């Protein structure tokens, strides 16, 4: 049975004060490149540009193509890339599968791309990898941008997930065809966001079409669980980051946390769970983050889905990042 990606649906964010500035730019396709890292082929996207680097890292189960309409907005002053984590996109699924390996793979990709010093932009699990990189390679880190990324090592996180009042299982009819999978992804990840080229690039990286026309997810259930266990065992050392930090934290509104195709009785239970369990956990996670990095700039987003963040809040992300980079 294929499962929803709990990391993409549950690692949601906090309070709410969305930005409003428009951030126009002209998206252009990236070159698809590969780096050999200890015998493992790692795929990355390269939008070009000159100057120091910006390296984008996607969330667990996501694709670097999620940044197709964000990354090109910075090539006027930066060399911009995005990495596909092991087992994601076109990267080989060779162990180990943990945060430290993701950060080390990024360091090797940056070497091949000729980027010495970089701003790190990490969404969800990518934020953990960015934080780990910033601590291990401070001389290479010019700044850190965290897109709805949290420390999941506290036992309260596991307890919160255990109390979720519905199943993460999805209808296997989503695997019937590429179109069926795209419809399922849109319904569960970004139902309130119009289709965009970046969303198409993201979802097309998440499945493989089989000879009979059916599909299988790029990331298997077992590998997904391996990553989730690694995430829950990893404690980001935020207080040791020496570079400037910008963090985006998103809070879902009523009936916007997850897919809303369940019976009303289940939806009411989910809404109660969001209010009584998820939001208090987010508040405590935010408080710990603020204590560790009191000087970090935090942008709070209202009615924003974790799983749709780069698509739903693209203009806010670009405009706030531009301000951050100017400073």
3-state secondary structure 273-312: HHHHHHHHHHHHHHHHHHHHCCCCEEEEEECCCHHHHHHH
Total structural domains within the chain: 1
Q: How are beta strands 118-123 and 53-57 bridged, if at all? A: parallel
Residue 24: predicted pLDDT: 56
CA distance linking residue 239 with residue 125, whole number of Å? 18
Question: What pLDDT band is residue 166 in, cutting at 50, 70 and 90?
Answer: confident
Q: Give how far the C-alpha of residue 250 lies from the chain's centroid of Cα atoms, to the nearest Å.
A: 12
Q: For 140, which DSSP code?
A: G
Residue 250: predicted pLDDT: 86
Look up the CATH number of the domain holding residue 75: 3.40.50.1820
Residue 5 has pLDDT above 60, yes or no: no
Q: How are beta strands 31-37 and 53-57 bridged, if at all? A: unpaired
Residue 16: predicted pLDDT: 29
Residues 6+ away with beta carbon under 8 Å from 232: 152, 153, 157, 158
Residues spanned by the domain of 261: 6-326
Q: How are beta strands 207-209 and 118-123 bridged, if at all? A: unpaired
Residue 21 lies in a domain: yes
Residue 131 lies in a domain: yes
Residue 323 has pLDDT above 90, yes or no: yes
Residue 267: predicted pLDDT: 77
Q: What is the DSSP string of 254-279?
A: TT-SS---S-HHHHHHHHHHIIIIIH
Give percent of the chain with pLDDT exceeding 90: 72
How do residues 193-233 score in pLDDT, each as one tens digit? 999 999 999 999 999 999 999 999 999 989 999 999 999 99
Among the listed residues 40, 67, 44, the one whose alpha carbon sits nearest the alpha carbon of residue 114? 44
CA distance linking residue 23 with residue 26, whole number of Å? 10
- Identify the H or E element spanning 317: helix 314-326
How do residues 284-295 score in pLDDT, each as one tens digit? 999 999 999 999
More confident residue, 104 or 13: 104
Residue 108 has pLDDT above 90, yes or no: yes
Residue 191 lies in a domain: yes
CA distance linking residue 85 with residue 126, whole number of Å? 9
Residue 1 lies in a domain: no
Mean pLDDT of the chain: 88
Residue 41 lies in a domain: yes
Residue 18 has pLDDT above 60, yes or no: no
Question: What pLDDT band is residue 19 in, cutting at 50, 70 and 90?
Answer: very low
Residue 163: predicted pLDDT: 87
How do residues 246-298 score in pLDDT, each as one tens digit? 999 988 766 554 555 567 777 788 888 888 888 889 899 999 999 999 999 99
User: 285 is written with which tokens?
Assistant: 């996670």
């Amino acid at each position: 049975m294929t499962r929803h990606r709990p990391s993409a649906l549950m690692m949601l964010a906090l309070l709410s004060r969305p930005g409003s500035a428009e951030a126009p730019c002209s998206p252009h396709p990236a070159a698809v490149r590969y780096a050999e890292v200890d015998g493992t082929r790692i795929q990355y996207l390269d939008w070009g540009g000159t100057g120091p680097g910006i390296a984008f890292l996607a969330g667990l189960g996501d694709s670097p193509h999620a940044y197709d309409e964000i990354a090109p907005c910075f090539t006027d002053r930066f060399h911009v890339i995005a990495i596909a984590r092991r087992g994601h996109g076109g990267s080989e699924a060779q162990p180990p599968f943990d945060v430290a390996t993701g950060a080390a793979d990024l360091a090797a990709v940056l070497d091949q791309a000729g980027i010495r010093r970089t701003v790190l932009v990490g969404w969800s699990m990518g934020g953990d990898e960015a934080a780990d990189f910033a601590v291990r390679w401070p001389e290479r880190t010019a700044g850190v941008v965290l897109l709805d990324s949290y420390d999941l090592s506290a036992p309260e996180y596991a307890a919160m997930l255990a109390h979720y009042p519905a199943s993460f299982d999805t209808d296997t009819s989503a695997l019937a065809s590429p179109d069926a999978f795209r419809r399922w992804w849109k319904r569960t990840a970004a139902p309130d966001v119009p289709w965009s080229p970046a969303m198409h690039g993201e979802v097309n990286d998440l499945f493989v079409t089989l000879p009979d026309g059916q599909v299988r997810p790029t990331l298997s259930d077992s590998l997904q669980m391996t990553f989730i266990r690694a995430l829950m065992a990893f404690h980001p050392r935020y207080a040791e980051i020496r570079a400037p930090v910008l963090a985006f934290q998103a809070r879902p509104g009523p009936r916007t946390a997850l897919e809303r195709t369940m019976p009303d009785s289940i939806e009411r239970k989910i809404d109660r769970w969001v209010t009584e369990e998820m939001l208090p956990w987010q508040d405590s996670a935010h408080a710990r983050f603020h204590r560790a990095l009191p000087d970090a700039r935090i942008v709070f987003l209202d009615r924003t889905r974790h799983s749709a963040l780069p698509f739903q809040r693209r203009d806010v992300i670009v405009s706030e990042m531009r301000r951050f980079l100017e400073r």
